[in-house]
Structure 1
């Protein structure tokens, strides 16, 4: 009696595929973050099974679906689809997703240690009583509200001050419940719109990639095995259903793949750089200074024309150099009217 071979769990195939696709990403920060994110995601739900939770049988279905969704995003990003590629970069640099909450945790939770960071509910889901932002958070929110360049990444507008609830028409009294509700609403808006700074080393890498000073190259991918189709053209499927359709454009209905080059990915780095701040504290006034990233200035498409050459150029002949009026206005000859013979 022969024993059946041990089958590899299906989740292990997804795990290996996620790590493989993470190593092929075109951004160095994205490769490092996505690899660690995949490992932490699998280890975060590894302990004992708890009924009616993500670690239970019912929750495993949603975890597997989330893993396959991430695998689809990573594979399409490596194939050159623009929207998945930009989403992976936004996730890696903490502009959206879990890492944005991880970077924002020191602004909301004081004395938060990195080793005791929870996997879920990184930020307090409920507003603490009489909550007020710390000075660094208030300075960053004010600077973010004044930054007009965040419209390019569809960021949620930030609100610097708490919206005041409406006063009553009798004596202008505002109940404590209304004030607490307004504070909770403001707290939720701040959490959704807050763009925290990233470490200086990552910011320098991002700036170097956007400007062109940082060396960049695509990682080498393993060659896929050739699928040798040895089936006969006159098999049973062909005889019953006839010839099958060739490649169609159905796969490109929501975008098409591109060859990833530096020219293709630089605009994405520019948009992320515009939404990534740097914070420094003035040692004298103890105030916080916020600076937002700016991409490199591109040269103009048309070169500037020398004014002295423009005067002597035949292109501007007959035009006054100061007023721009025509020196010799053109005269159009009048059309002769023909009188019919009587």
Structure 2
């Protein structure tokens, strides 16, 4: 979570010998985060983090200083926090905000791990957006016809409770996602996802079968709950313990599931990973300039900021003062200073394509198969392999590839120019002479 903006009017706490991020006030920190988010090399990441940063700061804005009603990141209205709670959380949120600023700076510098972490959050493999992508899967399917709706209404009991809600006498929403238990063996029962949630069932089945190596989450190893029907004394399982088993498995599945992306976003990511869509870098900003006092209005009189910052002190007294302050308050070493700068990369189209390929392996989309009358899940790596397989298995004439070589793939040696030998009769005649 990103920082609070409670102390908007507070002065920045400037301490000598501390990293620059420690100086930032909440307002400056918000602007710095938005600025770094605008430099990210991916369009989806820029849009997501811009929206996310504003949402986090507005969620901690006091009611008396709010200029607009606060809404969730998914445009749902939400009640603001109390001023006392904001004051208690301010320092911790500011610390996390400074960490987020360092992460965005490292990503913009071309460091592989921070940039991959940013892309994973932007495409919903980690973080808040992953939970947002899960929400559409938790909505029941809409019946295709009135006959299907009538069949559902006939199976639904009068109290409108789902099988597990009726069995365990509990109205929890978690229990509504499951079908009634089915006997798997003598003392085991299998509980699967309800047919009313076909998208959720298809995604869980696909996550159980597909296990990429670079998955930031633990693999989903069971696609259904196998629960014992009796306890260790051979008695029927208590209802409370059975409900806890269902809740724990639901939590286990939600923590390990990789939700599908929207089809249009998945197609764009897949095209960037394969090189079909050209990666467009962020346009470079011009360097700021300063006009000295008393200078004319000509543009040639302006001085770039980086040259102004590199200029030394004006007098020997200032130099002695700086040396004294440096000896009294030595600069604090940070993780950025100790980091090996060889980990930074130039952000090129090839570098981004390799990153996109790794992210696409973790992303999927839902496709409706009318012939099978069900939802199927397509993963990015599987689609890429199918394309490469079509490229390399196209029929090609063998003469075009292996013409002019022998069985070992070597060029044959040209024949030597040898004079023809005389016949045997002439040789015998010469010997008799």
2:365 alignment partner, SS class: strand
Give a deviation string over 1:212-232, Cα, whole Å, max 9, x none: 121223213333631224135
- Specify which structure has the higher proportion of helix: 2
Give a deviation string over 1:129-160, Cα, whole Å, max 9, x none: 45424221111111111113x22223321231
Aligned to 2:174: 128
Work out which of the residue numbers 257, 276, 281 in structure 1 matches 2:368: 281
Work out which of the residue numbers 210, 214, 218 in structure 2 matches 1:152: 214
Say whether the 8 Å CA contact 2:260–2:363 is kept in structure 1. yes
Work out which of the residue numbers 50, 61, 67 in structure 2 matches 1:46: 61
| CA distance in 1: counterparts of 2:323 and 2:62, whole angstroms | 51
**Distance of aligned partners of 1:205 and 1:312 in 2 relative to their CA distance in 1, 3 Å threshold:** closer
Divergent runs of 4+, >4 A: 6-9, 236-242, 247-250, 312-317
Rg: which structure is higher? Answer: 2
Aligned to 2:276: 213
Shift of 1:297: 3.7
Aligned to 2:320: 235
Shift of 1:184: 1.2
Q: Does residue 1:74 correspond to 2:107, yes or no?
A: no
Aligned residues: 290
Aligned to 1:35: 50
Give the aligned CA root-mean-square deviation in angstroms.
3.6
Shift of 1:36: 1.3
Greater Cα shift, 136-145 or 248-257: 248-257
Q: Given the two structures, how large is their TM-score scaled by the length of structure 2?
A: 0.58
Matches within 5 A, 1:1-342: 10-48=25-63, 50=82, 53=85, 56-108=86-138, 128-129=174-175, 131-132=177-178, 133=193, 134-148=197-211, 150-158=212-220, 159-165=222-228, 167-171=230-234, 173-222=236-285, 223=287, 225-226=305-306, 227-231=309-313, 232=316, 235-236=320-321, 238=323, 250-253=337-340, 256-283=343-370, 285-294=372-381, 295=384, 297=388, 306=402, 309-311=405-407, 313-314=409-410
Which gives a bigger RCO, structure 1 or 2 (Cα 8 Å, sep 6+)?
1
2:261 alignment partner, SS class: coil
**Distance of aligned partners of 1:44 and 1:169 in 2 relative to their CA distance in 1, 3 Å threshold:** closer
Shift of 1:27: 0.8
| CA distance in 2: counterparts of 1:254 and 1:170, whole angstroms | 62
1:153 alignment partner, SS class: coil
| CA distance in 1: counterparts of 2:322 and 2:29, whole angstroms | 31
Q: Structure 2 unaligned runs (5+)?
A: 1-8, 13-24, 64-80, 142-171, 179-192, 289-304, 393-397, 414-433
Say whether the 8 Å CA contact 1:198–1:276 is kept in structure 2. yes
Q: Given the two structures, how large is their TM-score scaled by the length of structure 1?
A: 0.72
